[in-house]
Chains A and B, each alone.
Chain A
Amino acid sequence: MALIRLILLVLLARPIARFMTGADVIGREHLPRRGPAIIAANHNSHVDTLLLLTIFPARLMPFLRPAAAADYFLKDPFIGWFSSKLVGIVPVERTKGGSGADVLAPMREALAQGAIVILFPEGTRGPGTDEMGELKGGIARLAEAFPQAPVIPIWIEGAGRVLPKGTMVPVPMNCTVLVGEAVPAFVDRPGFMAALRERLEALKAQAAPQRWR
């Protein structure tokens, strides 16, 4: 299954991503070269996941694990099979947050196994405007628990136009993936979250204006 996933990512997902978005990557040298690592990206579209899965070299693809909402991706058996086996998601039980359940446990387990976990700290897809939503604090807890895993900020510009939330028909439009330097090591939670937000805003400021007017 792992081999089938790799073949599909390289031979199917990567050409689709290039056709739909052009997949321009700026700052490729900042991408992590090994796991464990945490990718923190803004989120406007399913295309974000497609892009982040396909800009890595094939050697690293088996380590990529996008964190995804269990309540959305695992409710239907077919989408559930597709999400866990082919996309390789780490399920996040969004609805159980604050109930005392350890919603981060699957991500900690993945990081412990050396995965590169792809996180969307906004927690859901945004409306595709320029604004970044509020960032959830779970990523800071992961950074605290795994000091050896760098947190790489990534701003994806334009994906919200290719396939916005609530639409079915994708439209090819160029997107830019801006990869930043790792966020400074965790000291305290507010400081870490502020640094992450600042890094993402700085990357966004460099992006070509691939957005609606």
Chain B
Amino acid sequence: MIGPLTDWAAHLIAGIAPALRWGLAGVLGLLVLGAIAGVALPLLKPGKDYRELRQRVWSWWVMAALIAGALIGGWQATLALFAVISFLALREFLSLAPLRREDRLVVLLAYIVIIPSYGLLFANRYGIYLVFIPVWAFLIVPFLMACIGQTRGYLTTAATFHWGLMTCVFNLGFAAYLSRAPLAQAPQAGGAGLLFFLLLVTEFNDVAQYVWGKLTGRHKIIPKVSPNKTWEGFIGGWVTTGAVIWFLGPLFTPMRGIGLATLAFALPLAGFAGDVTMSAVKRDIGVKDTSHLIPGHGGVLDRADSLTFTAPLFFHLLLFFNMGRLPWP
């Protein structure tokens, strides 16, 4: 019983590109450190409430396990996981956004759009993917809303649907599509390595901005939208993440030189932009978190807000500097 199991595990690990293996091991190390902190801090500094810290760490374990499982499982598993993430994010968005009673079936249609959108990535029809939501869903949804006949708040609602589909489905789809890159295009660690790197630096940027802000933050950067964000956190996170991208990028991606420098410069900005933009949406609606699905973090959109901006940026910089006109043959 044990023998075949360890053989299977060894086979599975051997199938992972070496760089990705080390990357996943590093994340596991961070998670173990987090778990130790969750146990040790209450012993060292008793009296404070550490429940949220423990919830946060535990949620990181679950999220990392899901992502790692999908990365090891292959691009089909990754596309499936991201289709689910898109559904959860879109459900959160459309549940809080101001919609009208008459839009109920259009909401259902918006969920259904997820299936062909990810289906096009599955079938590797990148050209149609690029126009499916931005052009066709963009045209068909307002037309169906017009057929329903409620014109009060029509333009706002049409824009709301399009914004939700673009961020939660179209933009997140680029992250998933990275995993489909063949080894010949990304010999460092394959498509899974590209996606791993994107997720790693996006989440690192979130954490680095938060930590720099906590440690040194004094000057508010955008108080009307995100009162806790500071210039110090923003610049500290920008520089740290930029350095991480510059030094780790060559291990996981084919990007070098000017391309990698552009990525190191732009990705932390995009992460910040995604965070702030979703904060503006939440502030408009009047909620702090988009749901309570992930204990200690909030909703899927609270966690994936930066990714909705960094995923298309990373994908297109990679395409522009390293791939030519079409992504994967």
Residues in chain A within 8 A of chain B (CB atoms): 22, 24-26, 128, 158, 161, 164, 167, 169, 171-176, 208-210, 212-213
In the complex, which residues of chain A have a beta carbon less than 8 angstroms from the beta carbon of B96?
174, 208-210
In the complex, which residues of chain A have a beta carbon less than 8 angstroms from the beta carbon of B153?
213
Beta-carbon contact of B111 and A172 below 8 Å: yes
Q: Which residue of A lies closest to B292 (CB)?
A: A24
Q: Is the interface of B mostly helix, strand, loop or mixed?
A: helix
Determine if B285 is an interface residue (Cβ-Cβ < 8 Å): yes
Contact partner of B91 among A164, A169, A173, A213, CB < 8 A?
A: A173
Which of B97-105, B248-256, B302-310 is the contact stretch? Answer: B97-105
In the complex, which residues of chain B have a beta carbon less than 8 angstroms from the beta carbon of A22?
88, 91-92, 95, 291, 293
Beta-carbon contact of B91 and A174 below 8 Å: yes
CA distance A173 to B96 in the complex (A): 9
Q: Give residues of chain B (124-168) contacting chain A, Cβ–Cβ below 8 Å.
A: 153
Beta-carbon contact of A173 and B291 below 8 Å: no
Determine if B94 is an interface residue (Cβ-Cβ < 8 Å): yes
CA distance A26 to B286 in the complex (A): 17
In the complex, which residues of chain B have a beta carbon less than 8 angstroms from the beta carbon of A128?
101
CA distance A22 to B286 in the complex (A): 19
Determine if B44 is an interface residue (Cβ-Cβ < 8 Å): no
Residues in chain B within 8 A of chain A (CB atoms): 88, 91-92, 94-96, 98-101, 104-105, 107-108, 111, 153, 285-287, 291-293
CA distance A167 to B108 in the complex (A): 14
Given A169-B108, A174-B291, 14 other A-B residues pairs in contact with their CB atoms under 8 A: A22-B291, A24-B292, A158-B95, A171-B107, A171-B108, A173-B95, A173-B107, A174-B91, A174-B92, A208-B287, A209-B96, A209-B286, A212-B101, A213-B99
Beta-carbon contact of B105 and A172 below 8 Å: no
Beta-carbon contact of B99 and A212 below 8 Å: yes
CA distance A69 to B176 in the complex (A): 48
CA distance A171 to B87 in the complex (A): 12
Q: How far is the CB of A126 from chain B (nearest CB, A)?
A: 14
Q: How far is the CB of B230 from chain A (nearest CB, A)?
A: 27
Q: How far is the CB of A19 from chain B (nearest CB, A)?
A: 9
In the complex, which residues of chain A have a beta carbon less than 8 angstroms from the beta carbon of B285?
209
CB within 8 Å for A24 and B291 given contacts A209-B96, A210-B95, A210-B96: yes
CA distance A208 to B111 in the complex (A): 21
CA distance A151 to B88 in the complex (A): 33
Contact partner of A213 among B95, B100, B292, CB < 8 A?
A: B100
CA distance A172 to B110 in the complex (A): 11
Q: How far is the CB of A11 from chain B (nearest CB, A)?
A: 19
In the complex, which residues of chain A have a beta carbon less than 8 angstroms from the beta carbon of B291?
22, 24, 174
Q: Which residue of B lies closest to A208 (CB)?
A: B287
In the complex, which residues of chain B have a beta carbon less than 8 angstroms from the beta carbon of A171?
104-105, 107-108, 111
CA distance A213 to B101 in the complex (A): 7
Beta-carbon contact of A169 and B105 below 8 Å: yes
Beta-carbon contact of A174 and B98 below 8 Å: no
Q: Which residue of B lies closest to A127 (CB)?
A: B101
In the complex, which residues of chain B have a beta carbon less than 8 angstroms from the beta carbon of A158?
95
CB within 8 Å for A212 and B100 given contacts A22-B291, A26-B292, A173-B107: yes
Q: How far is the CB of B266 from chain A (nearest CB, A)?
A: 33
Q: Which residue of A lies closest to B98 (CB)?
A: A213
Q: Which residue of B lies closest to A173 (CB)?
A: B95
- Which of A22, A175, A176 is the most central at the interface, judged by chain B CB atoms within 10 Å of its CB? A22
In the complex, which residues of chain B have a beta carbon less than 8 angstroms from the beta carbon of A209?
96, 285-287
Q: How far is the CB of A8 from chain B (nearest CB, A)?
A: 24
CA distance A213 to B103 in the complex (A): 11
CA distance A209 to B285 in the complex (A): 8
Q: List 15 A-B contacts (CB under 8 A).
A: A22-B95, A22-B293, A24-B291, A25-B292, A26-B292, A171-B105, A171-B107, A174-B291, A176-B292, A208-B287, A209-B287, A210-B96, A212-B100, A213-B100, A213-B153
